[in-house]
Amino acid sequence: MAASEIIQFDKPQQIDLDKCVHCGLCLNACPTYRELRVEMDSPRGRIYQMAQVSSGAAQITESYIEHIELCLACRGCETACPSGVQYGRLVEAARAEIEAVIQRPRTIRLLRHAVFRKLLPSRFNLGMMGALLYLYQASGLKRLVQTLDFLPRRLRELESLAPEIEIPFSFRHYGKVLQPEGAVRYRVALLGGCVANISFARLNDATIRVLRKNGCEVSVPAAQTCCGALHVHAGLPEDARKLARQNIDALLDGNFDALITNAGGCGSTLKEYGELLEHDAEYAEKARRFSMLVKDVNEFLASIDLNPNMQAVPVTITYQDSCHLAHGQRIRSAPRKLLAAIPKLELREMTRSDLCCGSAGIYNLVHTDMALALLKQKMDCVNATGAAVIATANPGCMLQLRAGVRMFGNAQKVAHVVELLDQAYGEEHSLTVVVPKAV
């Protein structure tokens, strides 16, 4: 299919826009509307603007771009909508259309090119960046920069949200097949992510251990790449399609029972490869089969007979839903079921656990003021529970919540559900959670 033919699908489609009946039932579920009380920053207002552009009644202006970009793409409105509006699909298409018609300043274009095309898809470049950042963080240079306090406010904010680098990187698992403890019950492949390989390497290790404890032979195919979620959210669907094809080629023919991800955001996009490649004659059917095999690690573990040989993890926790797990994939009970299986772990639900924490991919780096305002509200809800640990199911949320604890919290620990399971299976050394020895 010619590029021009493909591009006609990379804009909001009338059939999707027409589903909105402007009832407004989504407004209270929208973090940006709750914060600003501006109709144009609500789901209904954004859909109205998209429809105006689509019909030709309005142009793509700076104001339109601002309202579309301020959306977190958290899809809370999708859950709230009684008319079945696929808002995530709409906002991704609106962003793709914007990217196709505007010319960003040269520095921004170069930056986007470097991040989306050179860094995220490249294991080598991610490894190099990880090594440099690790030297900066481990050598004391970072502490010196913080002590001297000469960075402008914007850079200080960005630094506070930057991930800690974890060595050794989980790229070391690539190309390996790791055997389960005991008999093989399932053959699964792990999708390691992109930045997660250098900043959540211990989470990937924990995921592999927990899967092996549950009878999984875990393959980490070397030819896999970034899932493309950040590209889709940034209006770069063609880049995402290239990555999707590479992942399909790398994993589909492996005869796996499941393709596992520990990132709610990645899982949501991986499960939508079928839609992403629906107009690709060669890959459409493969993409649908691929998406059917993708399972979030919570979803997978909650669906099998879980290894019950766990030790107590006597902590009070509260669970923050990952938006793309709760709203994108409609998975809410699986992580809670896993947490309930851990002896002596007490779950205290916070109010509005499914309202976005402000992470949203790279949103917190681009719209830092809004992201921090949402994070402050989130931490107020967390603090009210009195829980010592915040559990979640997406690395991006973990980063944001760790920043939230530093800025607004009560020294809570932040852990992925899988890390808590890993601890229950006896791997305390890898965790961010410190559990008293006496039970």
Nearer to ligand SF4, 47 or 325 (CB): 47
* CB neighbourhood size of 374 (10 A): 27
Phi-psi region of 302 (alpha: psi -120 to 50; beta: other; left: phi over 0): alpha
The single-letter code of the amino acid at 426 is G
Size of the site for ligand SF4 (CB under 6 A): 27
Smallest separation, CB 30 to ligand SF4 (Å): 3
Smallest separation, CB 94 to ligand SF4 (Å): 11
Is residue 241 near ligand SF4 by the rule CB under 6 A?
A: no
Smallest separation, CB 79 to ligand SF4 (Å): 9
Nearer to ligand SF4, 79 or 430 (CB): 79
Is residue 72 near ligand SF4 by the rule CB under 6 A?
A: yes
Smallest separation, CB 327 to ligand SF4 (Å): 8
Is residue 315 near ligand SF4 by the rule CB under 6 A?
A: no
DSSP 81-133: -TT---HHHHHHHHHHHHHHH----HHHHHHHIIIIIIITT-HHHHHHHHHHH
Print the binding letters for residues 85-124 with ligand SF4: x by CB under 6 A, - otherwise.
Answer: x-x-------------------------------------
Nearer to ligand SF4, 181 or 369 (CB): 369
Tokens at residue 136, please?
């900066």
DSSP 279-310: T-TTTHHHHHHHHHHEEEHHHHHHHS------
Q: Which of 14, 61, 63, 83 binds ligand SF4 (CB under 6 A)?
A: 83
Nearer to ligand SF4, 45 or 221 (CB): 45
Tokens at residue 150, please?
């000469």
Q: Which of 17, 51, 53, 81 binds ligand SF4 (CB under 6 A)?
A: 81
Is residue 24 near ligand SF4 by the rule CB under 6 A?
A: yes
User: What angle separates helix 123-138 from helix 141-148, to the nearest 10 degrees?
Assistant: 60
Smallest separation, CB 78 to ligand SF4 (Å): 7
Smallest separation, CB 232 to ligand SF4 (Å): 13
Tokens at residue 109, please?
């274009």
Tokens at residue 423, please?
């601890």
Is residue 358 near ligand SF4 by the rule CB under 6 A?
A: no
Print the binding letters for residues 29-68 with ligand SF4: x by CB under 6 A, - otherwise.
Answer: xxxx----------xx-xx---------------------
The single-letter code of the amino acid at 341 is A
Write phi, then psi, for 187 (nearest 5 degrees). Answer: -110, 115
Spell out the long-range contacts of 330-336 with Cβ–Cβ below 8 A and sequence spacing 24 or more: 330/79, 331/264, 331/296, 331/298, 331/299, 333/302, 334/296, 334/298, 334/299, 334/301, 334/302, 334/303, 335/298, 335/302, 335/391, 335/393, 335/417
Smallest separation, CB 21 to ligand SF4 (Å): 5
Closest CA to 319 of 342, 351, 290, 297: 351
Nearer to ligand SF4, 76 or 267 (CB): 76
- Pick the piece of the chain touching ligand SF4 (CB under 6 A) from 83-91, 110-118, 174-182, 216-224: 83-91
Nearer to ligand SF4, 17 or 206 (CB): 17
Is residue 20 near ligand SF4 by the rule CB under 6 A?
A: yes
Q: Which of 17, 51, 74, 405 binds ligand SF4 (CB under 6 A)?
A: 74
CA 167 to each of CA 171, 207, 403, 415, 424: distance values in angstroms, whole numbers, following the listed order: 10, 16, 21, 18, 23
Contacts with ligand SF4 by CB under 6 A lie at 20-26, 29-32, 43-44, 46-47, 71-77, 80-81, 83, 85, 87
